[in-house]
Amino acid sequence: MASFLPKTLLPTEPPPRWFWITSLSLLLLGIVFFALSLVVADRQSRLFLAVIPFILVCTLALHAYYLLHAGRERYVAEASLRQSQELLQEVTDHVQEVVWMLRTDTNELILVNNAYEAVTGHSLREIRENPSSYKDLVHPEDRARFLAKLAEARSTGKFDEEFRIVRADGVSRWIWSKGTAAGRVGEVPPRLVGIAQDITERKQAQLDIAKHLAAAEAARGEAEALRLSTLTLTKNLSMDTVLDTLLACLLEVVPYEAASVILTEGDCLYVARTSAKTVQMLEGQRNTFLERVRVARKSVFVPDTSEEPDWEDAGVLQGVRSWICVPLIASTQRPSSERVLGLLSVGHSRPCTFTTEHFRVAQSLAISAAVAIQNARLYERAEIYAAELEALIGKQGQWQARKAKGDA
């Protein structure tokens, strides 16, 4: 409504009680003076009539005062409200978080600030034309949970959820949104007011921390398993015990179906122990992949043997689809004295069962296994030498006894 004086506006609220009381009092006073002017003499009636314009002037002054005072108050109130709205709009337009207001009965956005465009990549015009289009931004995997929490907020008056959205450029971002009920209890329409912010970096940091903790826990478990395996392998110097212990310890860290310890005897290979505790010769057959590991002294990891054109599905490798083979190398201070004691073959009937972590663990376990096998071989040789020495000593004693008897 246009103002009739500078910095004033016409009042919209009804006048207060004092205005009506004063106006009615002046009206009644004017009626009384007019009635007196009719019943008294002519000279006195003029006096009463002269008072009536004064009453009218007072009435007009009262109305003018009310209009000016109330108009000024309305102008000041609206100016203050406009300034507050401008300050609020300036704050909401410059914050990085999305400020939103939602109707809980229809789940339509009533208000959203400019940060909506920066966070979602969509324009404000789209959300104003379709107030429910924000639901389509939620990632399909999180949409059901998001809508369930939104429906729950209708009764609880609180919304606090983390979910993913798909930006206009196709990039997924993590969003944290929190809102509370606004307005008076029972007010229609019920509303939620809250904020939403991009927490992708924080979420990624949490995932990285969890990943690192899992890796650290796995490394600790692996180190403990290798330590126990090493202690177990070195407790007994019997070759049979060492090989059985090696396969048992390997099963704790690598989920194999069939494993074999293939030892070397010159240039020949023979299966000294399998997971079924059988011993067999390779019957003079030379497997290309086994020979490649023995000659090259390098570990081999084949996720899927069906993709290898030279794969030979026979012998200990029959039915194997995922395969790990590690050479058992005994090292001394001189690298030239290194020789392959055997091969550790690990297989599974399903392709891509083993991972690079399994491959690395098998390589680590093979180091202590090679030392244990070398010690077992030295122990066996020592037992053979001891038996031969005892036999020679026995023969020498018999010879000395016969010589002494002959001399006698």
Among 198, 218, 253, identify where a domain stops: 198
Boundaries of domain holding 68: 17-92
Per-residue confidence (pLDDT) for residue 334, from 0 to 100: 46
Query: How far apart are alpha carbons 236 and 25 in whole angstroms?
Result: 121
- Shared-domain flag, residues 331 and 292: yes
Per-residue confidence (pLDDT) for residue 362, from 0 to 100: 86
- Shared-domain flag, residues 51 and 106: no
- Shared-domain flag, residues 144 and 122: yes
Q: Do residues 272 and 345 touch, judged by C-beta distance below 8 A?
A: no
Q: Do residues 249 and 229 touch, judged by C-beta distance below 8 A?
A: yes
- Shared-domain flag, residues 292 and 160: no
Per-residue confidence (pLDDT) for residue 276, from 0 to 100: 55
Establish if 69 belongs to a structural domain. Answer: yes
Beta strands in 303-359 (DSSP E): 322-330, 339-348
Rounded to the nearest 10°, the torsion over CA 367, 372, 374, 376 is -170
Establish if 292 belongs to a structural domain. Answer: yes
Establish if 394 belongs to a structural domain. Answer: no
- Shared-domain flag, residues 252 and 356: yes
The radius of gyration computed from the CA coordinates of the chain, to the nearest angstrom, equals: 49
User: In the chain, how many domains are there?
Assistant: 3
Query: How far apart are alpha carbons 341 and 377 in whole angstroms?
Result: 10
- Shared-domain flag, residues 69 and 135: no
- Shared-domain flag, residues 360 and 299: yes
Establish if 261 belongs to a structural domain. Answer: yes
Q: Do residues 159 and 176 touch, judged by C-beta distance below 8 A?
A: no
Helices 200-233 and 356-407 pack at an angle, to 10 degrees, of 10
Query: How far apart are alpha carbons 97 and 197 in whole angstroms?
Result: 5
Per-residue DSSP letter, 328 = E
Which tokens sit at 335?
């690298």
Interior angle at CA 326, CA 324 and CA 327, nearest 5: 155
Among 63, 92, 121, identify where a domain stops: 92
Q: Do residues 105 and 154 touch, judged by C-beta distance below 8 A?
A: yes
Which tokens sit at 290?
């086994």
Query: How far apart are alpha carbons 359 and 300 in whole angstroms?
Result: 9
Close Cβ partners of 66 (under 8 Å, ≥ 6 residues apart)? 11, 15, 19
What CATH number should be reported for the domain holding residue 368? 3.30.450.40
Establish if 5 belongs to a structural domain. Answer: no
- Shared-domain flag, residues 113 and 139: yes
Establish if 222 belongs to a structural domain. Answer: no
Q: Do residues 97 and 197 touch, judged by C-beta distance below 8 A?
A: yes
Establish if 140 belongs to a structural domain. Answer: yes
Give me the amino acid identity at 403.
K
Establish if 205 belongs to a structural domain. Answer: no
Among 146, 171, 198, identify where a domain stops: 198
What CATH number should be reported for the domain holding residue 130? 3.30.450.20
- Shared-domain flag, residues 137 and 86: no
- Shared-domain flag, residues 143 and 244: no
Which tokens sit at 365?
């376990």
Q: Could you report the average pLDDT of every consecutive run of 10 residues in the chain (408 residues)?
A: 53 66 71 67 62 70 69 71 74 78 86 86 87 89 91 88 90 91 68 89 90 82 71 70 80 85 76 61 61 85 87 81 88 56 88 88 83 79 78 75 72
Per-residue confidence (pLDDT) for residue 283, from 0 to 100: 44
- Shared-domain flag, residues 106 and 194: yes
**Distance (Å) of CA 372 to CA 180, 185, 238, 277, 368:** 67, 78, 10, 18, 6
**Edge-to-edge strand ranges of the sheet holding 158-166:** 108-112, 98-103, 191-198, 172-182, 158-166
Per-residue confidence (pLDDT) for residue 173, from 0 to 100: 92
- Shared-domain flag, residues 55 and 113: no
